[in-house]
Chain A
Amino acid sequence: MRRTGPLAIAFHTCVTIFMIAPLVIVCLVAFTPENTLSIPWRAYSLRWFRAVFDHSDLMQSFWNSLGIATAAATLSVLLAVPAGIAIARYDFPGRQALNGLLLSPLIVPHLVLGVAMLRLFALLGARGSATWLALAHVVIITPYALRLVVAALAGLDRSAEQAALSLGASHLTVFRRITLPLMLPGITGGWMLAFINSFDEVTMSIFITSPQTVTLPVRMYQIATESIDPMMAAVSALMVALTALAMIVLDRLYGLDKVLVGQH
């Protein structure tokens, strides 16, 4: 076995620093006591975190995002489980087309989906509706939920199901008592991945949110285009912390490398 050379280690170190530098810097700057974007080398302060919690618009957007992501991820899983069963277990005309349709939000740019939904909402008079915004989020996060559901079904040993069927259990009982529990890690993993993607989405949402339904990333985008102060760093640090927390849970539940690389 050849070992990794010093050149490779130096290259790898540079890439690692490059990947984590922007996340580390926002977490550092968030603790600055100053009014400027500086790294707190000598003293630190929590004043900008307090500023975040006192900022009513930001907090409103946080609750909007939380509600929309929860509703959208849940609905997305409710759609992805039956659709995933159809795709993974049945061979039927149109199966490829169905798969393509449900994965299409990965290929159609979110920006294009955003302007397309803006048109739909304008014609329906649905601009400003949180329900329609959540439905739009369902569309863009369903590919992630579907991928994990299909992966869970593909890796599932079917002998337990066949044993139950041969012992006279009904199809519904088999699904409820055997298939569903075995799929559960994939379903919860899919739900969390869908939740994170909805919570982070900005490009589509910026077209279809109204002042009452602005989500947190959209609000942050709007604030950042106008003025940049350390409060932005504090919000960003909180989002990094929240994401890290979600990643730990996801890792415990399902295995983070499986979620990210998409292998089973």
Chain B
Amino acid sequence: MSTATNAASRATPYALSLPAIALFALMVLLPLALTGVLSFQEYDAEKGVGAGFTLKSYAHVLGDSYYYEIFFRTGWIAALVTLICVLVGAPEAYILSRMGKPWRSIFLLVILAPLLVSVVVRAFGWSLLLGPSGIVNQIFGAMGIGVVKMLYTPTAVVVALVHVMLPFMVIPVWTSLQKLDPMVENAALSLNASQWTVMRRIVLPQITPGLLSGSLIVFGLSASAFAIPGLLGGRRLKMVATLIYDEYLHELNWPLGAAIALALLVVNLVVMLSYNAVLEGGYAKRMGRS
């Protein structure tokens, strides 16, 4: 009797999660595996996707400088967005955490709420602001700078991506600041540490894991962002995501698109998973935590 109950209770968690596992196996694991297979299949402009195993798609991507240019552009735009998010998001999270009672939660919501608004709406908002007759150019005109072309240039893509990604930097930094007791800072100050020393020796070590995790999320999401470069980069300023879209829906060369998509997935997984490795390895040990 008791063994039967034990066996039943051992099976319970699997039974509870079975529907979710089934759906995710069918809709995540299987499609990704199919896409992996697809990237090794033949493609012919006349006949479409054929059977057989070939490395042609990968060779094609690796042998054409057109693709390198797009990969390089995607890489530097994602890196620049990450850098700006660190430089803006970390101080902003710190300022927020030092605010008084009602303002702190109000402004936290103001900074984070755009997360819930569709990215298409936000991209459209930026196209209104950065267009040739937009507000930003009107201000530039009033300042005597003249009209600056920003829409359909990397500038617009970077600005809008920073807008989309900033909450993903503020959240982890904010979370790690919550664990910092303000008394520690006050103690350091009362012991004659300078403002700068307090920042460098107390605040910065505390927010490092948050900065690290925020940076990896922002880099990963920026490198695979689609709607922002699609709407603000125009047709000529291609990034990896818009390139994949074109291969699938305009060129109809699915194996080539699949190869590039898998490369993007691998880069993303390496970036995201390296965070866990870094955090659980060196950093946690150095901080003396288990």
Contact = CB atoms under 8 A, between A and B. Distances in A.
Interface centre among B34, B111, B220, B227 (most CB of A within 10 A): B227
Given A22-B129, A116-B31, A261-B108, A107 B17 contact: no
B264 A101 contact: no
A4 B95 contact: yes
Chain A contact residues, majority secondary structure: helix
Interface centre among B108, B125, B241 (most CB of A within 10 A): B125
Interface in B215-231: 220-221, 224, 226-227, 230-231
A239 B20 CA distance: 30
B122 A109 contact: no
A243 to B, nearest CB: 5
A136 B167 CA distance: 26
Contacts, number: 255
Nearest to A115: B261
B268 A225 contact: no
B25 to A, nearest CB: 8
Interface in A84-121: 85-87, 89-90, 92, 94-95, 98, 101-102, 104-105, 107-113, 115-120
A104 B272 contact: no
Given A257-B105, A257-B109, A120 B31 contact: yes
B4 to A, nearest CB: 16
Contact of B118 (A1, A136, A202, A256): A202
A200 B123 CA distance: 13
Contact of A11 (B29, B91, B163): B91
A239 B124 CA distance: 12
Contact of B112 (A1, A39, A217, A260): A260
Contacts of A11: 91-92, 95
Given A22-B128, A90-B12, A102-B24, A117 B31 contact: yes
Contacts of A202: 118-120, 226-227
Nearest to B186: A1
Contact of B120 (A4, A25, A138, A220): A220
Given A135-B23, A260-B109, A203 B92 contact: no
A144 to B, nearest CB: 11
A247 B12 CA distance: 36
B248 A108 contact: no
5 contacts: A108-B269, A109-B264, A112-B35, A119-B38, A233-B128
Given A23-B114, A260-B113, 18 more contacts: A8-B95, A12-B95, A12-B107, A109-B264, A110-B224, A111-B224, A112-B268, A119-B254, A217-B120, A220-B118, A224-B124, A239-B121, A247-B116, A257-B108, A260-B115, A260-B171, A261-B174, A262-B175
